[in-house]
Amino acid sequence: MAKHIKATKHTATIKDHAPIDRAATKVLVICGGMSHERDVSISSGHRVGGYLEEAGWNVATHDMDSELLPYLSDPETRPDIVWPLLHGANGEDGSIRDILEMEGLPYIGSRAKASRTAWSKPIAKNVVRKLGGLSTPVSVALPESTFRELGAKKVVDLLVSSLKLPLFVKPTQGGSAMGCTRVDKASELPQAMVNSFAYGDVALVEKAVTGTEISVSVLEIDGEPLVLPPLEVATPDGDYDYEARVTPGPTDFYVPARLPEAVLEAAQEAALTAHNTLSLRDISRADFIVDSAGVPQFLESNVAPGMTATSQLPQTAIAAGYGLADLYSRLVESVLRQHRADQ
């Protein structure tokens, strides 16, 4: 039987449960964009759009390009609601959401400001640790200029002596594991820094935690949180890198993760805490490593998680017994009702 937990943040009471005419409601899915994850975004967008069409909505998709703003403002095409499914920069850094807010359009997902907080891994880690009391691997975020000014070798040596090996080096922003390197030997750290700085000006150097890699998806429907069971990512070599993410292969997902019940509960609580303390909205997915003591160590929260056929959130929802067309429709309806209530 489902357990009930209360949302810890304020949500408006929504009393408007008037039926919504799906066929008359224009839903625009924005996908594509210029990020490294363009193809994943297109796949996510078409997948979600397909389910919404199946559920009777009037769905269109559009790329993030110079034609978008005219499309949004044209009375013929202006949507009633937008689902931004852009991954990477523009999609998750809040910029498209700022645009939609200026356009006065309701959209599914976190507000621009909250997205910007979640998009920066060190800031998000700090927020969930300080405000939410979550555990997160020890880390430092250093810009390339610091290495240039203080001497790269000296800073690299300090990182090794201070944080201790093994380490994980990754860009502070971005997804799909691009620019991420695990460092087991000190001699590997300079190349790992180069790889990370190629994707952004600031690198997050994090103490590597050994454990079970899980994700927990959170949806909000009619102001109430729906925390899906933790999903475990199991790869044969334990490395869920870019190749493993995009290549059909031996990666398995377990739902719920193969962990003790108390740990699963703690992971769900942690995901909801991250969702709330980061002021996220509607949909998010938090990634954790569960360490040997059974503590979920927060890595990051995603405001635009992958929604492809093999992505973690939809797989989890299916495992939990949800029909995706119905679940996504309820999310759209929820945001529309919230929008009406706000107005």
162 binds another protein (CB under 8 A): no
Whichever of 2 and 18 has its CB closer to another protein, that residue is 2
Between 128 and 227, CB nearer to another protein:
227
Task: Tell me whether residue 162 or residue 247 sits nearer to another protein (CB atom).
Answer: 247
Polymer length of the chain: 343
Q: Check residue 210 and give left, alpha or beta (phi > 0: left; psi -120 to 50: alpha).
A: beta
Binding mask 269-308 for another protein (x = CB under 8 A): ---x------------------------------------
Is 34 a residue that touches another protein (CB under 8 A)? Answer: yes
Which residues are CB-neighbours of 179 under 8 A, at least 6 positions away? 170, 171, 195, 196, 198, 199, 200
Which of 120/217 has CB closer to another protein?
217
**Considering CB under 8 A, how many residues would be counted as binding another protein?**
68
Q: Which helix (H) or strand (E) holds 325?
A: helix 324-342
191 makes contact with another protein (CB under 8 A): yes
Q: Closest CB to another protein among 111 and 245? A: 245
- Of 53, 98, 265, 291, the one binding another protein (CB under 8 A) is 265
Please give the distance of CA 77 from its chain centroid, rounded to a whole number.
29
CB of 343 to another protein, least distance (A): 24
Distance between CA 321 and CA 97 in Å, rounded?
A: 31
Residue 50 in the binding site for another protein (CB under 8 A): no
Report the distance separating Cα 257 and Cα 216, nearest Å.
Answer: 10
Q: How far is the CB of 20 from another protein (least distance, A)?
A: 17
The secondary element (H helix, E strand) that includes residue 73 is helix 68-73
For residues 271 and 278, give the distance between their C-alpha atoms in angstroms, rounded to a whole number: 11
Question: What region does 279 belong to: left with phi over 0, alpha with psi -120 to 50, or beta?
Answer: left
Two tokens, residue 328: 């996504």
Residues that bind another protein (CB under 8 A): 1-7, 34-36, 38-40, 42, 65, 144, 147-148, 152-153, 156, 178, 190-191, 193-195, 197-199, 221-222, 224-230, 232, 242-243, 246-258, 261, 264-265, 267-268, 272, 310, 315, 318-322
